[in-house]
Amino acid sequence: MRELLLEIWTSVRRNKLRTFLTGFSVAWGIFMLVILLGSGNGLKNGVLANFDDYATNSIDLYGGRTSKPWMGYEKGRRIRMWNSDLEILKREFPEVEEVSANKWLDGKKATYGREFTQVWLRGSLPKVQQMEGIKLSAGRYINDADVKNYRKVIVIDEPMRRILFKGADPLGKQIKVGGLVFTVIGIEKGDAQRNNSSCTIPLTTGQLIYTANNPEVNNVILTLRGVDTDEQMEDFEKRLISRLAAEHHFAPDDRSAIWINNTMEMYKNMMVVFGGINLFVWIIGLGTLLAGIVGVSNIMLVTVTERTAEFGIRKALGARPASIIRLILTESVLITAAFGYLGMVLGVAVMETVNYLLNQMPSQQTEGGMNSVFLDPTLDLGVAVSATVVLVAAGLIAGYIPAYRAAQLKTIDALRYNK
């Protein structure tokens, strides 16, 4: 074995360019496959991270406008949703797990001491935090007692904290919003550098103070259980619209009266898109690997052709055909494996470096700011190792065919080859 390795090393040193070209085609194929798969995973992880904190089994309902006349009402009538709709959903639909709602209020001026800012105000129920994946950097969110007792408490965001409190702890402090005093109970994560602010108060408090206790809500959020197929979802939506149609007096088949934003459907569609992206990445990656295999095959063919006369000398000195084939195959496997491993290491190193740089950047995701689009661009090491093994096996096959043909030549023909 030692003599065999020495022969291979001598051959590699004598044909540096040929060895480099063989190895480069292998390393480049593995490197590009790792880069493509890592980038595809980074894109997928980044987009799916935006769903992590959201309830993917949730549906948002918004009041719309009727598109057809019904029961004496003209089309174009505005449909408004009320607090009573929440009770209907809880009581009459066993698939509904949780129900919550939001009420968008007018922009208000918020002041603390001499500092002030313009904020957007909304009234919410406690379950909104879980359903929308709202994260807090301090304090707590609205709870049931706040809603029941019409408490004047408020959850502010990072921009509001920066402007009004200059980064100081605002919990327990009292601020004026539209002339009314609210106690700060929590801080919602967000990009502190934004200029616009939004804050949340209990839904009942907002309806009582700002809308004269008008029970209207702007959107209803509900989560489902036991609805797993498209057919079940379609049936649920049909029954839901039919029941709301009876409550609000619009046509049961008028889908413009109530807008449905189905997070489950969005999530499924996103997975289909990423399935296509993943397939495309694999096609490109395998194409790159195939190019590497072709390169290895061509170079091995040239290598064997150049050394046919040498093989004739070996056979004249008593070498068996099997030893010549073993020599070529061992050289092919060693070069392919070494450069394939090098390409894999470089590809993984590049992806890890990109991941490190992303983690060192000001983390908008940590601060709860802009949605991430590229996250953790790494891949399962087993995939890269498997691709390397495939390329090594291809190199083995690529070397065997010309080596077998050369080994089967008669000694005299091999000695005369290319003479």
Residues 362 and 238 in one domain: no
State how many domains the chain has. 2
Mean pLDDT within 239-256: 92
pLDDT of res. 270 = 75
pTM: 0.65
pLDDT of res. 359 = 77
pLDDT of res. 366 = 41
Furthest CA-CA distance within the chain: 107
Over residues 107-150, the pLDDT tens digits come to: 889 999 889 998 999 999 999 998 888 889 999 999 999 999 99
List of E strands, 166-236: 174-177, 180-188, 197-202, 216-217, 219-224
Res 6 pLDDT > 80: no
Res 4 pLDDT > 70: no
* Residue 367 CB-density burial (10 A; 0-12 exposed, 13-18 middle, 19+ buried): middle
pLDDT of res. 241 = 93
pLDDT of res. 357 = 83
3-class DSSP assignment, residue 137: strand
CA distances in angstroms from 359 to 39, 223, 352, 353, 356, listed in the order given: 15, 33, 10, 10, 5
Res 54 pLDDT > 70: no
* Two structure tokens written together for 245: 């149609």
Q: How far, in Å, CA of 143 to CA of 1, rounded?
A: 75
Residue at a domain's end among 238, 263, 288: 263
CB 311 within 8 A of CB 324: yes
Residues 332 and 370 in one domain: yes
Over residues 16-36, the pLDDT tens digits come to: 777 777 778 778 878 888 888
pLDDT of res. 365 = 42
Res 1 pLDDT > 70: no
pLDDT of res. 367 = 42
Residues 282 and 252 in one domain: no
pLDDT of res. 199 = 92
Mean pLDDT within 191-212: 84
Question: Tokens 């993984």 appear where?
Answer: 348
Residues 63 and 198 in one domain: yes
pLDDT of res. 61 = 94
* Residue 94 CB-density burial (10 A; 0-12 exposed, 13-18 middle, 19+ buried): exposed
Range of the domain at 356: 2-53+267-416
Residues 252 and 282 in one domain: no
pLDDT of res. 136 = 92
Looking at the chain, the whole-number percentage of residues with pLDDT higher than 90 is 32
Helices (H), 125-215: 128-132, 144-148, 158-165, 203-210
Strand partners, 186: 139, 155
Residues 181 and 256 in one domain: yes
Mean pLDDT within 213-228: 90
Residues 215 and 351 in one domain: no
Residues 157 and 303 in one domain: no
User: What does the mean pLDDT of the chain come to?
Assistant: 82
Res 415 pLDDT > 90: no
Res 419 pLDDT > 60: no
pLDDT band at 370 (very low <50, low <70, confident <90, very high): very low
Residue at a domain's end among 205, 233, 263: 263
Res 208 pLDDT > 80: yes
Helix axes 321-360, 308-316, angle to 10 degrees: 140
Q: How far, in Å, CA of 75 to CA of 168, rounded?
A: 53
Residue at a domain's end among 215, 235, 263: 263
What is the helix, strand, coil percentage profile of the chain, to 5? 55, 20, 25
Residues 99 and 239 in one domain: yes
Res 258 pLDDT > 70: yes
pLDDT of res. 354 = 85
Residues 230 and 288 in one domain: no
Q: Which of 9-23, 179-193, 285-299, 322-336 has the highest mean predicted lDDT (pLDDT)?
A: 179-193
Residues 257 and 405 in one domain: no
Res 256 pLDDT > 70: yes
Residues 308 and 360 in one domain: yes
Mean pLDDT within 225-236: 86
DSSP assignment of 24-35, as one string? HHHHHHHHHHHH
Nearest CA to 182 out of 102, 95, 110, 125 is that of 110
How many CA within 13 A on the CB side of residue 229? 3
